[in-house]
Amino acid sequence: MNKRLLFSLLLFFGCSLSMLAQDRRITGKVVSAVDGSPLPGVSVQVKGTNKGTSTDATGSYAINVPSGKASIEVRSVGFLTQSFEVGSQSVINISLVESDNSLGEVVVVGYGTQKKTNLTGNVAQINAKAIENLPVLTTEQAIQGRAAGVFVESGNGKVGQGIKMRIRGASSVSAGNEPLYVIDGIPMTSNFTTNSPNPLADINFNDVESIDISKDASAAAIYGARGSNGVVQITTKRGKAGKTNFSLNYFTGTSEPTGRRQFLNTAQYVELFKEARANAGFSLAGGETRFTRYAVGERARWADPTSPNYTNTVWEDQVLRKGSINQLDLSINGGTDKTKFYASGSYSKQDGIIVKNAFERLSTRLNLDHKATDKLTIGVNASLARTLNTRLSNDNAFSTPMQIIALAPMSPVIDPRTGDFTDTYNGADVTQYYNPLVSIANTNNTTEVYRTIGNVYGQWNILPALSFRTEYGFDMLLRNDDQYNGKKTVRNSVNAGNGEAIKSVANTYNFNTNSFFTYNQVFDQKHDLNAVLGMSYQQSDRTAIDAVGRQLPSDSYKTIASAATKADANSFERRFTFLSYFSRVNYKFDNKYLIGLSGRVDGSSRFGANNRYGFFPSASVGWILSEESFIKDIRQISLLKIRGSYGFTGNAEIANFPSLGLYTAEGYAGTPGQRQFQLENPDLKWEKTAQTDIGLEVGLFNNRLSFEVDYYSKYTTDLLLDVNVPGTSGFSRQLKNVGELENKGWEFIVRTDNKFGDLTWRASINAATNKNKILNLQGQVITGGFLNRAVEGQPLSVFVGPEYAGVDPANGDALYYLNTTKADGSFDKTKTNDVNQAAFVPIGNPNPLWIGGITNDFSYKGIDLSVTFQGVYGNDVYNGAGKFMSANGDFYDNQTLDQLNRWRKPGDITNVPQARYVGGNGTAESSRYLEDASYTRLKTVTLGYAFPKSITDKLKLSRLRIYATANNLLTFTKYTGWDPEVNTDYLTGVAAGNDFYSAPQPKTITVGLNLGF
């Protein structure tokens, strides 16, 4: 299309050309700035006239410039438009810089690629240029804020931990909502740990060439039963023929928490708790005894500010620290026309912002393509990674570092009586809760993963139009978890009195074959046909074994081998399989009209015998209006396209045997036993999502400015729902196909590419809104988290609970709205101090209304500046720990500073109830602990400088760039917790948007170097 458009533009200019005398002839060659290859078909125009030409096959051009005209303008789709002063030159050689504008680019679709212009579906592409040299360790960090409609959330600031990705909202209640990850055509194992998986942690981000996210049905239906949550296709870099290029990248940096939270100091603590005890009728002496106990038996530590021992420990500072991040990466690519290769090695190490939290990765990759004959290409991709994560307990453990903030400020870090961390003394508890520092000092908790992902392929070009490709892929994951709880941790780990060693080994072998034919033919220059037909089989086997040993001679012995008691052992063995047949046909007529059809038949072992196979078709159409004669002549419009798609995808992310009636072994006191634990459901089948997508793409001024707007509606039926069954049956839940939900939304993208002299400016803005609503659960109410629910008429995971109504000025009681429904249907807003009288009503939504990002890239000569803002708007976060840390002195947990605003005397107007020790005054789960967690964040800002050729040539380098980057530098939010981007790591199911002693996100500043030679 582009050539044709250019041709017509030229024709248009040519017709109005008026020849003038005294022309000067300028010649030259246009090449790509990336690899120096000649660029044919580039428009070269005399600025301020209609006079122009285009380059030939060798990239050469010749143009007559009338006298008095100072410059020429060079433009081509996919490249930045540039102008050049003619001056006295007669030869102007031009190297064109590729544009970030992706309209002319190729996107990865399942089992093939398509030009973006020909696409009838919606695929968000994050290409190499957008993320090149971004100093992040894992891929999802590069996606956040850069793809419309893709919500990425990292639940906390622990390194190497889980992520949450939602593409166009959540389509399921009980089945998985994470997208399918496909790397170089092979579905990855993405759910391999019991604790917060990050499937992308084992992939070296610098090996990633592009990320293509299939969002609508026509793009995702080729992945059929697994496409409902979208498909993230990661393509790794491949070799290019020519000179062998070495690229060395290094960066180093430091990180610190994005936020802190303030807690009471010793004087405030003493004041509040004395008051709380007095208000509840408890003796003063009892409280003072308690304070002295916390103060390692020394009253002066809390009572006498003049004492040298007076203690005021800021516990938060004991677990938050300055972290560090380092990565060294070397890649080599090159080859001949016959054999091309890409090889890389990378080492990274990250020390988290929380004590004893680290992540280390060593990875290598080799991607090889070899043309065996004219017709046969074979190749291999293989990556091997070893990651080592020094882990922390989940958020709901006394041993997790952030729970340290519950400790009283009068306790010193070190108890002088023991010389060790303040925790217990002579067997008796000193601190109210276990001190996590004891675990930091006395436990090991590591996860080591060896992962090999790769595939071998052969592609046979049977006929010029017909090819056959077969791929055999594997994702092998060996995981070792090692934990040792030292003797001193016994207060926390009840069985660690003489040491406890725990080890588990889990292996996941995931094999996949794809075999498919591709047919590509243009008939009569008007009929462009592209078809794919093939099959795929996947088998995933997981085995695990774990064992526990106790009674070790000393803390120097840390393994089960040394344990006198081999206390427990367990094993696990599971398999699932998928067998699929798929086809896709794309037809383009006259460069204007596009039709796409695709279908997939999927069978899976996970489903009931009666419904083993599902069929997932899709259809899509597109119309490139800018090719129509009535628009073609409008010079300003370079692209105008509308497209629409409708189709079905499925969701199979459930346990492996939910359709079977099962017994499980449950012994008692050494006697073997069993019991029924799952009811059978032979009718269990896929969850099906029907999705409609309508999109408009506009490119203006030679695509200098482009827009993309999409509206979609996803309607999911036969939800795979963990249905609550009456507990009297002996069962609590059963997986059934029940219910419907929908996601509707808009996505907007604006891009602009500009060049003003030596300054280029590219901007990309994306924004998306998604509205999720559960339509039907057959009356089921599924609860999760603290107040999350799945309930009809509301978005998934809506917060439902009593509505807090503040404090009674008369007596300091916490009040709640009754919110019972009155006869006229309105809520009764009468206030009550009995939370049990308050109806449970929707009080908030953890799902953002809007998500988006803005990226601005500037470059001027060698200097580049990139600024990305990312934000979410309209979501709430529930602080599940509010009842402990912001409980107006309900119990001895140290309190957030705002609790000093508690009600004290009649007439006080405040939102914090009267302090009452163990009085439960306002501590019930309610909207008191719910907050708006919208935020905007300066996600990345990078300033770089590439040394000019004159210097790099002297150094015998092809490239030398230095840069500094800041991640999460600024966060704008009203959320009062540590960080608004939060989702505690211990809750699952419908739980969402919960903060529970969750570590804040890191704010990272790095400096780095890119070397090419």
Partner 1 sequence: MKINNKFIYAVAFSLILSSCANKLDVKPVDDVDAISAVKTSSDVEAILTGAYDSMTDGDVLGGNMQRDAELMADNGDVEWAGTFVAPGEIFEKSMLRDNNQAEATWLDSYRTINTANTVLANLGVVDAAKKSRFEGEAKLIRAWMHFELVRIYAKTFQDGNAASNLGVPIMTIPTAKITDASFVKRNTVAEVYQAVIADLTSAESLLPAKNGFFANKATAAALLSRVYLMQGNYDAARQAAHRVISSGNYTLTETFDLAFNNRTNSTEDIFATQGTDQDFVNELNTFFASSEYQGRGDIYVNEQHLNSYDVSDERGNFFYESGDIFTAKWARRIGNIPLIRLAEMYLTRAEGNLRAGGTPIGTTPLADINRLRERAGAKLYTTMDLATILKERRFELAFEGHWIHDIKRNRQTITKRNGNGTRTWTFNSPKLIFPIPLRETDANKNLVQNEGYQ
For the segment 292-351, give every residue that binds partner 1 (CB under 8 A). 293
- What's CA 809's distance to the chain center, in Å? 45
Q: Which of 388, 585, 725, 1007 forms a contact with partner 1 (CB under 8 A)? A: 725
> Helix, strand or coil for residue 633?
coil
CA dihedral 804, 810, 813, 815 (to 10 degrees): -20
Does residue 285 touch partner 1 according to CB under 8 A? no
902 binds partner 1 (CB under 8 A): no
Among 106, 380, 441, 660, binds partner 1 (CB under 8 A): 660
Q: Which is nearer to partner 1, 424 or 967 (CB)?
A: 424
Question: Which of the residues 771 through 810 are near partner 1 (CB under 8 A)?
Answer: 779-781, 783
Q: Helix (H, G, I), strand (E, B), or coil: what is residue 301?
A: helix
On whether the CB atoms of residues 748 and 769 are closer than 8 A, the answer is no
Choose, by CB under 8 A, the member of 37, 336, 521, 663 that binds partner 1.
Answer: 663
Q: What's the token pair of residue 95?
A: 């190297």
Our CB check for partner 1 shows the closer of 93 and 664 to be: 664
CB of residue 646 to partner 1, shortest distance in Å: 28
Shortest separation between residue 559's beta carbon and partner 1, angstroms: 19
Per CB under 8 A, 608 contacts partner 1: no
Q: Which stretch binds partner 1 (CB under 8 A): 54-62, 524-532, 653-661, 688-696?
A: 653-661
In the complex, the smallest distance separating the C-beta of residue 659 from partner 1, rounded to whole angstroms, is: 11
Q: What is the nearest approach in angstroms of partner 1 to the Cβ of residue 746?
A: 34
Given candidates 726, 823, 825, 905, which one binds partner 1 under the rule CB under 8 A? Answer: 726
| Residue 446: DSSP 8-state | E
- The residues in 137-176 that bind partner 1, with binding defined as CB under 8 A, are none
Q: Which is nearer to partner 1, 382 or 547 (CB)?
A: 547
Which one among 243, 575, 949, 974 touches partner 1, defined by CB under 8 A?
Answer: 575
Task: Quote the DSSP letter at residue 1007.
Answer: E
Give the whole-angstrom CA distance, residue 906 versus residue 917: 19
Query: Per rule CB under 8 A, is residue 669 in the interface with partner 1?
Result: yes
Binds partner 1 by CB under 8 A, chosen from 308, 419, 667, 825: 667
Please give the DSSP secondary-structure letter assigned to residue 97: P
Side-chain-side CA neighbours of 902 within 13 Å: the count stands at 30
User: What is the closest distance, in whole angstroms, from the C-beta atom of residue 899 to partner 1 in the complex?
Assistant: 17
* Closer by beta carbon to partner 1, 637 or else 725: 725
Site for partner 1, residues 365 to 394, rule: CB under 8 A: 372-373, 375-376
Helices (H), 451-602: none
Contact in structure between 484 and 558 (CB atoms under 8 Å): yes
- Pick one of 327, 734, 772, 894: the residue that binds partner 1 (CB under 8 A): 734
Indicate whether 491 belongs to the interface with partner 1 (CB under 8 A): yes
* 730 binding partner 1? (CB under 8 A): yes
- Residue 281 interacts with partner 1 (CB under 8 A)? yes
Q: Out of 192, 291, 576, 997, which residue is the one contacting partner 1 (CB under 8 A)?
A: 576
Q: Which of residues 500-529 bind partner 1 (CB under 8 A)?
A: 513, 515
Q: Which of residues 27, 194, 559, 664 is near partner 1 by CB under 8 A?
A: 664
Residue 605 contacts partner 1 per CB under 8 A? yes
883 binds partner 1 (CB under 8 A): yes
Residues from 539 through 568 that contact partner 1 (CB under 8 A): 539, 565, 567-568
Positions in 469-488 near partner 1 (CB under 8 A): 470
Measured over the CA atoms of residue 883, residue 886, residue 888 and residue 893, the dihedral's sign is positive
Residue 884 binds partner 1 (CB under 8 A): yes
463 binds partner 1 (CB under 8 A): no
Strands 788-790 and 60-66: unpaired
Query: Sheet containing 208-214: which strands, arranged edge to edge?
Result: 123-126, 208-214, 231-236, 180-183, 186-187
CB 409 within 8 Å of CB 267: no
What is the C-alpha separation between 789 and 964, in angstroms, rounded?
A: 44
Q: How far is the CB of 393 from partner 1 (least distance, A)?
A: 15
Which range, of 10-18, 198-206, 273-281, 622-630, touches partner 1 by CB under 8 A? 273-281
Strands 82-85 and 150-154 come out as: unpaired
Burial, 456: exposed, middle or buried (Cβ in 10 Å; 0-12, 13-18, 19+)? Answer: middle
> How far apart are alpha carbons 7 and 76 in whole angstroms?
12
One of 18, 22, 729, 988 touching partner 1 (CB under 8 A):
729
* Interface segment toward partner 1; rule CB under 8 A; list 110-118, 304-312, 675-683, 739-747: 675-683
Q: Which is nearer to partner 1, 421 or 433 (CB)?
A: 433
Least Å distance, CB 920 to partner 1, is: 6
Cβ contact 841:803 at 8 Å: yes
**Taking the alpha carbons of 734, 735, 738, 740 in that order, is the dihedral positive or negative?**
positive
Task: From 199-207, 210-218, 603-611, 737-745, give the range in contact with partner 1 by CB under 8 A.
Answer: 603-611
If one asks whether residue 851 binds partner 1 (CB under 8 A), the answer comes out as no
d(CA 166, CA 886): 31
What is the C-alpha separation between 671 and 954, in angstroms, rounded? 80
Does residue 468 belong to the site contacting partner 1 (CB under 8 A)?
yes
Distances (CA, A) of 183 to 228, 236, 344, 383, 601: 18, 8, 17, 11, 21
- Binding to partner 1 by residue 727, rule CB under 8 A? yes
Whether 85 and 757 have beta carbons less than 8 Å apart is answered as no
Stretch 809-848 residues interacting with partner 1 (CB under 8 A): 835-836
- Chain residues 40-99 in contact with partner 1, contact rule CB under 8 A: none
Q: What is the CA radius of gyration of the chain?
A: 32
Residues 949-1008 that bind partner 1 (CB under 8 A): none
Task: Find the binder of partner 1 among 96, 219, 430, 982 (CB under 8 A).
Answer: 430
Question: 3-state DSSP call for residue 886?
Answer: coil
**Residue 464 makes contact with partner 1 by CB under 8 A:** no
For partner 1, the closer CB: 375 or 949: 375
Q: Does 466 bind partner 1 (CB under 8 A)?
A: no
Q: Which of the ranges 316-324, 329-337, 553-561, 604-612 carries the binding residues for partner 1, by CB under 8 A?
A: 604-612
Single out the segment in contact with partner 1 by CB under 8 A; choices: 44-52, 207-215, 490-498, 996-1004: 490-498
497 binds partner 1 (CB under 8 A): yes
DSSP secondary structure of 363-393: EEEEEEEEE-SSSEEEEEEEEEEEEEEE---
Any contact of residue 728 with partner 1 (CB under 8 A)? yes
Shortest distance, CB of residue 192 to partner 1, whole angstroms? 17
| Number of residues near partner 1 (by CB under 8 A) | 90
Q: Does 259 bind partner 1 (CB under 8 A)?
A: no
Minimal distance in Å, beta carbon 722 to partner 1? Answer: 12
959 close to 952: Cβ distance less than 8 angstroms: yes
Q: Which amino acid, one-letter code, is at 476?
A: M
Work out the burial of residue 40: count CB atoms within 10 Å of its CB; fewer than 13 is exposed, 13-18 middle, 19 or more buried: middle
Euclidean distance between CA atoms 542 and 595, whole angstroms:
41
Cross-strand bridge partners of residue 214: 123, 231
CB of 574 to partner 1, least distance (A): 7
Other beta carbons within 10 angstroms of residue 661's beta carbon come to 12
Interatomic CA distance for residues 916 and 272, integer angstroms: 9
112 binds partner 1 (CB under 8 A): no
How do beta strands 740-756 and 705-717 pair? Answer: antiparallel
